[in-house]
Amino acid sequence: MASGLSEKGRSQRQKSNKTVTTERTDERFENSLSRSRTRVHELALCNPWEYFATFTLAETKQDRFDLKGYIKDFGNWIGNYKRKYGASDFAYLIIPEQHKNGAWHAHGLLHGVAPDSLTRNEHGYLDMAYYQNRFGYISLSPIKDKNKCASYVTKYITKDTASTARNIGKGYHTFYASRGLQGRVILGQGYLTDYQTDYQNDFCGVSWIDENQVNELLNIFENDYENAFSE
């Protein structure tokens, strides 16, 4: 009888430990997904992107199922592109997306594209022959609304892309970006009372403001700081 109870208790503890481990893993996964989305949205807003682009892979030119191989070859291609067209400012932010059959393509943002590397294809989209000759079909669309574009490209960071990153393991990321991209900059810090935000939850509030409003807020923060130490 005692042996049976002991075995039952051991089984329950194992199930409990497994549940806790699963919950912690799920929490880390959600946090990682949130960080990726936040970072992509930040990079999309803080840099002078010119084009939204879709990158595909032709099976005759690249292994469509080997993402790591594509990312490595894409990096080499960028170096060659910069040298060929003198596009030293060329930069990218791309998010891989997997087809249901396991093949890959990608979406992303570009700036510093050399004008003489662009052509117009039969579908009316801007094309880049230098990419097409190496990898496959590509289309570029000029960005008209930066905020909408940033929100749109962030939606490509999904639970599926994050799960794939975790399953593939080391060397795979949910997104890829050029080095040296501009991120958010803290212009000032302080407390505001009775301030109307565009979005708010229990943890934070967010407002979209123009340059004049930024200067007004910086003045408020500066005055509050001086008053706090002058009393």
With 0-12 / 13-18 / 19 or more C-beta atoms within 10 angstroms meaning exposed / middle / buried, residue 104 is buried
Q: pLDDT band for position 197 (50/70/90)?
A: confident
Is the pLDDT score of 228 beyond 50?
A: no
Q: Where are the domains of the chain?
A: 44-177, 186-231
pLDDT tens digits along 107-166: 999 999 999 999 988 878 899 999 999 999 999 999 999 999 999 999 888 766 656 655
pLDDT in tens, 39-82: 999 999 999 999 999 999 999 999 999 888 999 999 999 999 99
Q: What does the pLDDT read at residue 171?
A: 56
Count the Cβ atoms, other than its own, within 10 Å of residue 164. Answer: 18
pLDDT at 219: 75
Angle at 136 between CA 125 and CA 53, to 5 degrees: 45
Considering the entire predicted model, what is its pTM? 0.71
From CA 180, how far away is CA 211, in angstroms rounded? 24
- Res 109: pLDDT: 96
Instruction: Assess contact for 106 and 94: CB atoms under 8 A.
Output: yes
> Does domain 44-177 bear CATH number 3.30.70?
yes
